[in-house]
């Protein structure tokens, strides 16, 4: 249970005698809390059956994809997970609860006694130097049982036999899938918690056993986020137990619901940030937006997942290579999982060249795990900047629109010096160019240009925290009441079309911690001073920074941000090193000038930044700014 969701007993007792419920303030932890379980030190790469085949998947199709990954050299480039999505199951055997595989489409899974096993299948993949992934649901039923009712591959039998999800069988299934069958990766969906309401038409028509929804897609307030988190945490614990070698990936797939933006990193290797991608430009925008401003929540071992790639279909097919390259570039910039979902047995060279762009794969797979920061933001064009482990930058200039757009790239977008030469190397064409200060581009409709950058750092003797989001763990972002993020592109719902009054903001996350902007997307500003670099967060927050590089000091200019909705709180900023208080400001108020805070980090590995103030449970948030927050040599 998170501190912030928990009213301390004492606070509750105070509330009994006074009308004001005091909110618990976070405290320094002294140890690095970002979990290290699982094998996804870099974003998982591979292939997934869903966008290519939906439930009409079979063994030949999957093995064909696996063979192509090897033959086309994609496996060597990192695409090693071969993930079987929905459609593989026949039923849950009632005598012992064991899951039975549909051997009609996976013939190698047949055993003489009908027990069925994927061991032969995973052995073959492992023999090819690949890894194997499987799909399940955290509830009793899976998504195809709600959304692919025409499918020939739906679970069969009684209502109980058709309960193929993990609920009630977590350890049994996880042990079967990992210890017995030898899988390395699991995607855990959540339709079972959302779509099988007792008494609903779906449940009545199909004779399912209903489950009172714990996820209400249209309402974060009616979603039981703590319950959903607890269900996924139970899966995480079973995975840990079944995989003493730590070689597993846990892909959470609850489509950005239940406030997973906040807890996904503590539970899984990756978590979906939105609903399913479709092969449409606006769907790609929607899924991209759902992850693009969550950089501080991702890092080595835990990744935002805007969904599998749709390169090769619809707006991203061979007639739309500009769009296909943009899709791939954006996913790489965001350190997203790269999962091809195309019938690779017949992939044209033009698409293989996109998935196989080694320079962009290296951007995605950079070990520092710094998801790109948005250095220039608008609904028309964006400039994304990613800092690589060796300190150099990669920049992407993204035209979101169907018209040409002019973009000026400034040295300051890159946090590079404006009076020294900057070299750009195009990661698609490989051509190089040089500029000083500022340069311009004409982006074609939907085009993204992406460059590796060499130049002189603005901050030669250190690094801004906003350059190293992968080294930051947001323990507590101060969000008390989850709010839907209104900044995500609202596409026309591909399933409902315009048969509703509108496409609404639906993913909680508004107000989360941000690099170089406030939690609500404003310029960082304290008193009258604004900051290009810094961390924007709400009050009563705790951020951890991993100081593996051994920086000697921390400096920032801190205060209550000029955009704060609540103005009358005094905020204390404190810096801890491995649990020891290193520096603290006096209480600072709205309107106060920025206050310098410096801390001697000598030898400290885990730096913690706390901003705390008195608060009641239901008041509006206080926005605070760690201006120009930086680590210095």
Closer to ligand GLA by CB, 164 or 174: give it. Answer: 164
**Distance from C-alpha of 86 to C-alpha of 133, rounded to nearest angstrom:** 11
Nearer Cβ to ligand GLA, position 50 or 121? 50
401 and 413 Cβ atoms separated by less than 8 Å: no
- Mark 274-283 as b/e (b = at least 16 C-beta within 10 Å): bbbbbbbbbb
From the list 189, 305, 476, 477, the catalytic residue is 189
Task: Decide if 245 is catalytic.
Answer: no
**Closest Cα partner for 516 from 469, 584, 560?**
469
Of 189 and 477, CB closest to ligand GLA: 189
CB of 187 to ligand GLA, least distance (A): 6
How far apart are CB 271 and ligand GLA at their closest, in Å? 12
The two tokens of residue 119 are 């061991």
Helix 281-292 vs helix 321-333: angle between axes, to the nearest 10 degrees? 10
Rounded-to-integer distance, Cα 338 and Cα 80, Å: 10
How far apart CA 298 and CA 123 sit, in angstroms, is 32
Residues that bind ligand GLA (CB under 6 A): 50, 85-86, 135, 143-144, 189, 253, 255, 276
Q: Where do we find the tokens 């101060």?
A: 478
How does DSSP classify residue 248? Answer: -
Beta pairing class for 81-83 and 131-137: parallel
Strand ranges inside 145-300, DSSP E: 185-189, 249-253, 270-272
Nearer to ligand GLA, 89 or 576 (CB): 89
If 0-12 CB within 10 Å is exposed, 13-18 middle and 19+ buried, where does residue 234 land?
Answer: middle
Q: Return d(Cα 385, Cα 408) in angstroms, integer.
A: 14
CB of 191 to ligand GLA, least distance (A): 6
Please identify, using beta-carbon distances, which residue of 189 and 447 lies nearer to ligand GLA: 189
307 is known as an active-site residue: no
Using the minimum distance from each CB to ligand GLA, give the nearer residue, 278 or 466: 278
> Which single residue brings its beta carbon nearest to ligand GLA?
143
- Minimum distance, C-beta of residue 509 to ligand GLA, in the bound complex (Å): 18
Kindly write down the DSSP assignment for every residue of 577-632, as one continuous string. Answer: ETTEEEEEPPPB-TTPPPEEEEEE-TT-SEEEEEEE---BTTSPP-EEEEEEEEEE
Which residue, 50 or 576, is less far from ligand GLA as judged by CB? 50
608: alpha, beta or left? (left if phi > 0; alpha if psi -120 to 50):
beta
Q: Is 126 left (phi over 0), alpha (psi -120 to 50) or beta?
A: alpha
* SS3 assignment, position 405: strand
Selecting among 85, 276, 305, 477, the annotated active-site residue is 276
Q: How far is the CB of 145 from ligand GLA (least distance, A)?
A: 8
Give the nearest distance from C-beta 255 to ligand GLA in angstroms: 6
609's tokens: 């930044």
Dihedral Cα 251, 254, 259, 262, nearest 10 deg: 10
Residue 45 has phi, psi (to 5 degrees) of: -130, 145
- Considering the complex, state which of residue 143 and residue 330 has its C-beta at the smaller distance from ligand GLA: 143
Contact indicator for 552, 633 with CB cutoff of 8 Å: yes
Instruction: Give me the least distance between CB of 392 and ligand GLA, in Å please.
Output: 34
Are 117 and 180 in contact, with CB atoms under 8 Å apart? yes
Q: How far is the CB of 38 from ligand GLA (least distance, A)?
A: 19
- DSSP states of 127-174: HTT-EEEEEEESSSS-THHHH-TT-TTS--SSTTTT--SSTT-HHHHH
What letter would DSSP give residue 522? P
Between 276 and 561, CB nearer to ligand GLA: 276
Which residue, 307 or 364, has its beta carbon nearer to ligand GLA?
A: 307
The least distance separating ligand GLA from the CB of residue 386, rounded to whole angstroms, comes to 26
- Closest distance of CB 189 from ligand GLA, Å: 5
- What amino acid positions are annotated as catalytic residues? 189, 276
């Amino acid at each position: 249970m998170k501190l912030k969701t928990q009213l301390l007993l004492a606070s509750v007792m105070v509330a009994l005698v006074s009308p004001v419920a005091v909110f618990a303030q976070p405290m320094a932890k002294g140890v690095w809390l970002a979990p290290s379980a699982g094998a996804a030190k870099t974003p998982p790469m591979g292939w997934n059956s869903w966008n290519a085949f939906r439930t009409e998947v079979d063994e030949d199709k999957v093995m064909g994809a696996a063979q192509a990954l090897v033959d086309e050299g994609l496996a060597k480039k990192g695409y090693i997970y071969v993930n079987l999505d929905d459609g593989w199951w026949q039923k849950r055997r009632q005598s012992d609860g064991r899951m039975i595989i549909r051997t009609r489409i996976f013939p190698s899974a047949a055993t003489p006694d009908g027990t069925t096993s994927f061991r032969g299948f995973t052995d073959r993949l492992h023999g090819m130097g690949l890894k194997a992934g499987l799909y399940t649901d955290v509830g009793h039923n899976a998504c195809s049982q709600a959304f692919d009712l025409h499918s020939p591959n739906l679970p069969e039998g009684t209502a109980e036999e058709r309960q193929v999800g993990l609920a009630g069988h977590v350890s049994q299934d996880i042990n079967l899938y990992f210890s017995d069958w030898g899988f390395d990766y699991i995607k855990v969906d959540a339709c079972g918690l959302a779509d099988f309401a007792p008494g609903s038409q779906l449940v009545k028509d199909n004779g399912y056993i209903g489950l009172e929804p714990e996820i209400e897609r249209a309402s974060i307030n009616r979603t039981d986020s703590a319950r959903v988190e607890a269900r996924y945490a139970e899966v995480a614990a079973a995975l840990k137990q079944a995989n003493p070698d730590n070689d597993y990936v846990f892909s959470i797939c609850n489509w950005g619901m239940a406030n997973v933006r906040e807890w996904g990193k503590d539970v899984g290797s990756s978590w979906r940030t939105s609903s399913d991608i479709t092969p449409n430009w606006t769907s790609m925008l929607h899924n991209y937006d759902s992850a693009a401003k969550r950089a501080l929540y991702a890092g080595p071992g835990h990744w935002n997942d805007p969904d599998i790639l749709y390169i090769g279909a619809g707006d991203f097919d061979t007639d739309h290579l500009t769009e296909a390259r943009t899709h791939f570039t954006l996913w790489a910039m965001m350190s997203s999982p790269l999962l091809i979902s195309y019938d690779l047995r017949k992939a044209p060279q033009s698409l293989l060249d996109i998935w196989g762009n080694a320079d962009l794969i290296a951007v995605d797979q950079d070990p520092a795990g710094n998801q790109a920061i948005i250095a220039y933001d608008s609904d028309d064009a964006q400039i994304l900047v990613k800092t690589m482990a060796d300190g150099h930058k990669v920049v992407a200039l993204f035209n979101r629109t169907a018209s040409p757009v002019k973009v000026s790239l400034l040295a300051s977008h890159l946090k590079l010096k404006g009076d020294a030469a900057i070299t750009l190397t195009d990661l698609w064409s490989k051509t190089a160019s040089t500029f000083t200060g500022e340069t311009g581009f004409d982006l074609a409709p939907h085009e993204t240009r992406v460059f590796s950058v060499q130049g002189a750092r603005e901050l030669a003797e250190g690094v801004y925290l906003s350059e190293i989001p992968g080294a930051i763990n947001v323990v507590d972002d101060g969000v008390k009441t989850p709010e839907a993020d209104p900044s995500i592109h609202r596409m026309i719902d591909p399933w409902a079309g315009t048969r509703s009054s509108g496409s609404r903001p639906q993913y909680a996350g508004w107000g989360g911690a941000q690099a170089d902007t406030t939690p609500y997307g404003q310029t960082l500003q304290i008193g009258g001073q604004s900051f290009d670099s810094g961390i924007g967060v709400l009050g009563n927050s705790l951020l951890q920074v991993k100081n593996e590089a051994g920086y000697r000091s921390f400096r920032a200019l801190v205060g209550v941000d000029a955009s704060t909705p609540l103005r009358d709180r005094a905020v204390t900023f404190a810096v801890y090193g491995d649990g020891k208080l290193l520096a603290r400001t006096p209480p600072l108020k709205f309107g106060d000038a920025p206050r310098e805070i410096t801390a001697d980090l000598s030898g400290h590995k885990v730096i913690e930044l706390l901003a705390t103030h008195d608060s009641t449970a239901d008041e509006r948030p206080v926005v605070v700014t760690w201006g120009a927050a930086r680590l210095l040599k």
